[in-house]
Amino acid sequence: MIRIDLDVMLARRKMSLTELSQRVGITMANLSILKTGKARAIRFATLDAICHALDCQPGDILVYEKGEEP
């Protein structure tokens, strides 16, 4: 299972979800879906924009956890 640690990076960068939304041009609703782990997919362009805004690598926000088979 892939877990999205967006909250962790936002805290490290002292940035709010609202500020991230404005910087990357993604709606608050879509960022909330990512943040809560309810997203089933993410576009590379979206991941690129988030990483650019947070000055991080994809591996800083995407974490693989062993769990049940999908």
Which domains does the chain carry? Answer: 2-64 (1.10.260.40)
pLDDT at residue 20, as a whole number: 96
pLDDT attached to residue 1: 86
For residue range 8-41, what is the model confidence (pLDDT) as tens digits?
Answer: 999 999 999 999 999 999 999 999 999 998 999 9
Residue 19 to residue 59: CA distance in whole angstroms: 21
Average pLDDT over residues 43-65: 95
pLDDT the model gives residue 69: 64
Cα separation, 65 vs 10, in Å, equals: 21
Q: What angle do CA 17, 42, 28 make, to 5 degrees?
A: 25
